[in-house]
Amino acid sequence: MGWNDHVEYFEVECQDCWRVDTWECWDDVGKARYVGEIAKMVNVDTTKSDRCPHCGSTHGRLIDSDYYV
């Protein structure tokens, strides 16, 4: 089991700034595991999960899908 088994990456179009980029989507186990000093040591910020890397919005559409995150 690797350090990033709890994160998936998706190409998402932001519905606020309209940029297409890769969004990090962490599961609950990963969010709980990588907090505090451990997160600093591995340079992980799980608070950015499921958010646009440009504007921070949580409204997006997966590319080639009608599913909204």
Residue 27 lies in a domain: yes
Residue 68 lies in a domain: no
Residue 42: per-residue pLDDT: 85
Q: What is the pTM of this model?
A: 0.75
How many independent structural domains does the chain possess? 1
pLDDT bracket for residue 2 (50, 70, 90): low
Residue 1 lies in a domain: no
Give the structural domain span for 53.
7-62
Give residue-wise pLDDT tens across range 18-58: 999 999 999 998 888 888 888 888 888 888 899 999 999 99
pLDDT bracket for residue 1 (50, 70, 90): very low
Q: How far apart are CA 56 and CA 44, in angstroms?
A: 16
Q: How far apart are CA 14 and CA 69, in angstroms?
A: 10
